[in-house]
Amino acid sequence: MYSTETFLDRVYFPDDDNPDGCWIWAGSIDKDGYGRVGSKITAHRYSYALFRGRCRGLLVCHHCDTRSCVRPSHLFVGTIQDNVADCIRKGRQVKGEDVPTHKLTADEVRVMRKLAARGVARRALASLFGVRPDTVKTIVRRKAWRHI
Ligand SMILES: [Zn+2]
């Protein structure tokens, strides 16, 4: 399956003037408009698992209603038994927990710098990695994580 970098190579990022825009899957799209990673996994589900952790037994839904969007901050999970309203309510909770306490890994630092070099806005990187924009700045300028 895809590593984080390989996955992100298959994504169209939004322009700089739209830092909160959707990340559109550039790989295969199924008949319902969902991105696909292989025959069994949707791209947005794969993205959620990659960036935000386990989602087994849970439904991965879109805040943005763009089926081909794989941006982690546009995704949320609900249980399969939930109805749509409940799913949305849970999504808001997931969003509320999305506080900047995430500890970065060396891998994430590398990906963050690669994306920054491609012109992805600092604010977008901050929301993707769950850290403050200041943190992104120090990492991209190599004032933090200098050893990588
Ligand atoms: Zn989106």
Going residue by residue through the chain (148 aa), what tens digit of pLDDT does each one get?
Answer: 788 889 999 999 988 888 889 999 999 988 888 899 988 889 999 999 888 887 776 788 888 888 899 999 999 887 555 434 544 454 544 433 343 445 677 777 888 888 888 777 888 788 777 778 888 999 999 988 888 8
CA of 134 to the centre of ligand 1 (A): 24
- Cα of 146 vs centre of ligand 1, distance in Å, is 32
17 C-alpha to ligand 1 centroid (Å) = 15
Euclidean distance between CA atoms 63 and 75, whole angstroms? 6
Distance (Å) from CA 145 to ligand 1 centroid: 30
Class of domain 4-89: alpha beta
- Please identify which residue in the block is written with the tokens 């794969």: 46
Range(s) within the chain of domains with CATH label 3.90.75.20: 4-89
Q: Cα–Cα distance between 135 and 45 in angstroms, integer? A: 27
Q: What is the pTM of this model?
A: 0.57
Helix 133-140 to helix 122-129 angle (10° resolution) is: 110
Residue 23: predicted pLDDT:
93
Q: How far is the CA of 88 from the centre of ligand 1 (A)?
A: 15
Please give the pLDDT value at position 79: 58
